[in-house]
Structure 1
Amino acid sequence: MKHRGERAQSMVEMAMIAPILVFILLAVIDFGRAAYDYATLAGAVRDGARSAITSGANRPTNAQVVVAVEKSAFGLQLAQGSCVNDPAPASPSMSANTGLVYVGAGPDNSETNAPAGESPAGPVGSCAAVVPSLAGHYQLQVTAKFKFTPLTPFASQFFPGGLVMTVSSTMSTEY
């Protein structure tokens, strides 16, 4: 049988531990969101790389590769980068919980930087020339940068500007 003072002690202990439990719950929610976003982004970039190297009559353009990434990135807002065939910039300008997609040359490829369906073009402004991978074995790399912003104010203190996730997938053309 509990005395009246013991019940009050339990309430005080619960009041002391409740904020810590709520903090842990919110941290798990934010880390879970980050893990989901990263896994979804990685799968979408792989799908985009697969679509970039297809051959035959349906060779894709940059826009088709970006659409393939967007369709696979369920729940994420992605768009084509400004210079889609250039290497992804280190810190692109993005708003919270949005991302940019780039299609370019792989690390061991210095000749081509676009899927075979893209039309060749010279440099425009600060963007590099577009050199499609028409025949041969070339590496194409699809890169997505996504700015993750935590929901909870406590986690936002650790990442005040958000956290930029970068995912790349490189595959070889075999036309």
Structure 2
Amino acid sequence: MRLREERGQATVELALVLPVLILILFGIMEFGRLFSAYLVVTNAAREGARLAAVGADDAAIVARVRDAAGSLDPAALTVDIEPPASNRFSGTEARVSVSYSVYLVTPVLTGIAPNPFPLRARAVMRVE
């Protein structure tokens, strides 16, 4: 008789704890997706700034950024380059900003964080 009571207790405890564990698991997965996309966006901005620093035109910089962000949707990337190519002289700073939005897939987290979640990275390098 005592064994039956303990089995029911374990089932109730599992029913109470399981939703919290699932929420934590999905939160970890979403964080991994966001962090991965952030690393890709940061690297793409760095690649674009490097190309701007060696004197490439804006079209080549945007193409390099989209190529460096290969795992992301290239149509959803926004690339801003400052200053324009005509004002990039040796010793000035070239700034490349890359923006991307990641859509969250966990329903509970969409109520906490903005959906889509905006990611931005900016890289600055001195023109050679």
Q: Does 1:61 find its partner at 2:61?
A: no
Name the residue aligned to 1:26.
26
Instruction: Return closer, same or farther for 1:66/1:31 CA change in 2, 3 Å cut-off.
Output: same
Instruction: Tell me how far apart the structure 1 counterparts of residues 93 and 52 of structure 2 sit (CA, whole Å).
Output: 10
Q: Does 1:143 find its partner at 2:97?
A: yes
Instruction: Tell me how far apart the structure 2 counterparts of residues 46 and 70 of structure 1 sit (CA, whole Å).
Output: 12
Q: Does 1:101 find its partner at 2:84?
A: no
Q: Deviations along 1:41-92, whole A, 9 cap, x unmatched?
A: 10111011111122xxxx422111111111111311235xxxxxxxxxxxxx
Query: 1 or 2, which has the higher helix percentage?
Result: 2
Shift >6 Å, 4+ stretches: none
Name the residue aligned to 1:170.
124
**Count of residues in Structure 1 that have an aligned counterpart in Structure 2:** 127
1:75 to 71, 74, 85: 71
Select the structure with the greater relative contact order (CA < 8 A; seq sep ≥ 6): 2
> Gapped runs of 5+ residues in structure 2?
none
Q: Deviations along 1:2-55, whole A, 9 cap, x unmatched?
A: 71111121111111111111111111111111111111110111011111122x
Aligned-pair identity in percent equals: 28
CA contact (8 A) 2:79 2:98 kept: yes
Q: Normalising by the residue count of structure 1, what TM-score does the alignment of the two structures yield? A: 0.66
CA contact (8 A) 1:49 1:169 kept: yes
Residue correspondence of structure 1 range 88-127 to structure 2 within 5 A: 98-105=76-83, 113-114=84-85
